[in-house]
Homo-oligomer: A and B are copies of this chain.
Amino acid sequence: MADSKQQHLINDYRINSADIDGFDKRYRTHFINSLSGFKSANLVGTISAAGVPNLAIVNSVFHLGAAPPLMGMITRSNSVRRDTAENIKQTGYFTLNHVNRHIYQQAHQTSARYAAEVNEFEAVGLTEEYSETIPAPYVAESAIRIGLKVEEVKPIEINKTEFIIGRIVEITAPKDCVENDGYINVEAAGTICVSSLDAYHQTSRIDRLSYAKPDLPLSSLN
């Protein structure tokens, strides 16, 4: 890599804080949203106190811990509609439903600003499904569906967003996608991912690698 610095000078776009401040709003939103790399694509299902189901795509869901089983999600005006966050706080439950290649257009359409009394399942053409355990609606067309109970809502003061912590209370996944060691082959289930705000990607597995230890070579688990 002796020449790496020189190559970078020629090929790279270098941006600092002042440059970011000078970007126009839309450019900045696309650019900054690209930086974390690939994001998960989930549909969050909720129901209002008045009984109106709500569905919204969210790209900010992440694993928070396995014991207890927790997932995190950031709400913000761009990605999670206010009525979703309101429903979560009022009812204490939500579902997460993996977006797959058959429903990515309907999933993206849920990001439109529908009026609060609109049922987005009906508006975009997806099917509500309910379990006996929680009140929030699932997406029948999604292969991997997770039911969560709200554990905590932490305010993030710096940009007036919220960090929602959910405890996983039920999961549905295709039997043939759950491998012997507990790994769920989300790729086989058709789950896709997102980059920035609006780009949808399918995946192809390169490898599964063994647990890393110092001074031991990795092996492939494929």
Give every chain B residue within 8 A of A199 (Cβ-Cβ): 183, 205, 207-208
Give every chain B residue within 8 A of A68 (Cβ-Cβ): 158-159
A29, B182: Cβ atoms closer than 8 Å: yes
Pick from B195, B203, B216: contact of A202, CB under 8 Å:
B203
Complex formed: what's the CA distance from A207 to B210 in Å? Answer: 33
B212, A111: Cβ atoms closer than 8 Å: yes
Complex formed: what's the CA distance from A176 to B11 in Å? Answer: 8
Complex formed: what's the CA distance from A28 to B178 in Å? Answer: 12
Q: How many residues of A contact B (CB 8 A)?
A: 122
CB distance from A186 to the nearest CB of B (A): 5
This chain's copy number in the assembly: 2
Give every chain B residue within 8 A of A187 (Cβ-Cβ): 195, 201
A38, B186: Cβ atoms closer than 8 Å: yes
Given A158-B152, A171-B14, A206-B104: A36 and B4 within 8 A (CB)? Answer: no
Given A151-B158, A195-B186, A206-B201: A175 and B11 within 8 A (CB)? Answer: yes
6 more contacts with CB within 8 A, not counting A31-B182, A192-B206, are A16-B170, A26-B182, A36-B62, A114-B214, A202-B204, A203-B204
